[in-house]
Amino acid sequence: MHLQLLNRLIPPVLRGDYNSLMRSQLLIGLLLTDIVILLLFFALVLLLPNFVQDKKVLFSISAFVLSHVSILIFFVKSHHLILACHLLLATLSLSIFLALQLTGGFSESVMLQLVFLIPTTAFLLLGLKRGLKWFLLSAAMTVISFFLAKLDIGSVQLLSDSQNQVMNDCLHFLVFLMVSGAIMIYETINEDLKARLHTEKDKLSYEASHDGLTKIPNRAEFIRRLNQSLLLAQQNESQLVLIYIDLDDFKPVNDTYGHHAGDLLLKTIAKRLQSTIRASDTCARLGGDEFALILSGVSQAQDITHIVNNLLEAIKQPIAIAANHVVVRGSLGVASYPDDANNAEGLCINADTAMYQAKKVHDTCVFYKDVQRKMTIKYP
């Protein structure tokens, strides 16, 4: 049974909690499954010539179907999940034990095999504690039925021997269908719940590791990736380049055109930075108008020069804001492993130091090794 059908019938107030949602899906699924099976059973009663077609039997099946429909309507309208579950179990218990007494009692009735449906349904719908209460209640009713049979009290036999045999055969299939249906519904809902939880976990993990505005990695994810990239660089004996980027004249744009314009500018710059580097590299927003890039496996000086020139050019391309073309520029600081530092903290400090030297000039890039030599190199 498709879960979308079940979800449409579930009151919105119960959809927010996973436990309530799962139990609501189970309740509706069991009700609809039982209704379909009982209608098929009703048709079987009418079609089999040797089967009992007494009006009382047909009325009993009809009443059972009607009770299920009533419980379904009550649940959808009232939103009382637990009460609806108890009503279903009460109806199921009453029907089974009444049928038990009308078909020979404990000793002779073929209905006895239906008794175990009560605790099975109760555990599925209500969990362990409430399910245990219904288990004890059904056990007590079974014991009472046993003693009534021994005392020959309260039971009658409406079925002949041939009808009893046909009923017994039919009930085997009925029990099989009801139990299989319940298990299928439970497993379908359980798989859906696992998928929901997995999706929610991925969503929370993404939100925790990515910047909410630009959708690129945040500072925490940047540190994690930097440590991971350093470990790989150490194992492969390769070079790693860290670039810190700070936007020049971002605050005037934010103050003049408003925060919405500032947000648009940051998102645009983030996309440009990502498009300039490789998919295997990392572009992160550290906060405010400050970004960082992690470039692995860049060994040639001319490669780094080419990259930073492309970055500076991409940053200062005009951005359309409020019918104006706004231009901001970047100040870049570069530090590399293993030349400038051999750990994440040292690389970050050195790249930050180089970046602040670049901000004294604007629209330029400074390498930490040149800071050490008291020398600033500007790339056109």
Q: Which of 157, 181, 207 is the last residue of a domain?
A: 207
Q: Which of 161, 186, 207 is the last residue of a domain?
A: 207
Query: Which tokens in the block code for residue 168?
Result: 């017994």
Q: Which residues touch 380 (CB under 8 Å, ≥6 apart)?
A: 309
Over residues 12-48, the pLDDT tens digits come to 888 777 778 888 888 888 888 888 877 887 777 677 6
- 170 and 235 inside one domain: no
- DSSP characters over 143-193: HHHHHHHHTT-S--B-S-HHHHHHHHHHHHHHHHHHHHHHHHHHHHHHHHH
Q: With bands split at pLDDT 50, 70 and 90, how would you rate the model's confidence at 310?
A: very high
> Is 27 inside any structural domain?
yes
The domain tally of the chain equals 2
Q: Which residue has the higher pLDDT, 41 or 129?
A: 129
- State the pLDDT at residue 1: 45
3-state secondary structure of 331: strand
Residue 216 gets the label, from left (phi > 0), alpha (psi -120 to 50) or beta, of beta
Q: Are 199 and 62 in contact (CB under 8 A)?
A: no
User: What type of residue sits at position 148?
Assistant: L
Mean local confidence (pLDDT), 323-331: 91
Helix (H) or strand (E) holding 346: helix 344-359
Over residues 43-81, the pLDDT tens digits come to 776 776 555 555 666 777 788 889 989 999 999 888 899
Find the domain containing 301 and state its range.
Answer: 219-372
Above 60 in pLDDT, residue 226? yes
Above 80 in pLDDT, residue 184? no
> Is 378 inside any structural domain?
no
Q: Which of 183, 207, 231 is the last residue of a domain?
A: 207
Above 50 in pLDDT, residue 376? no
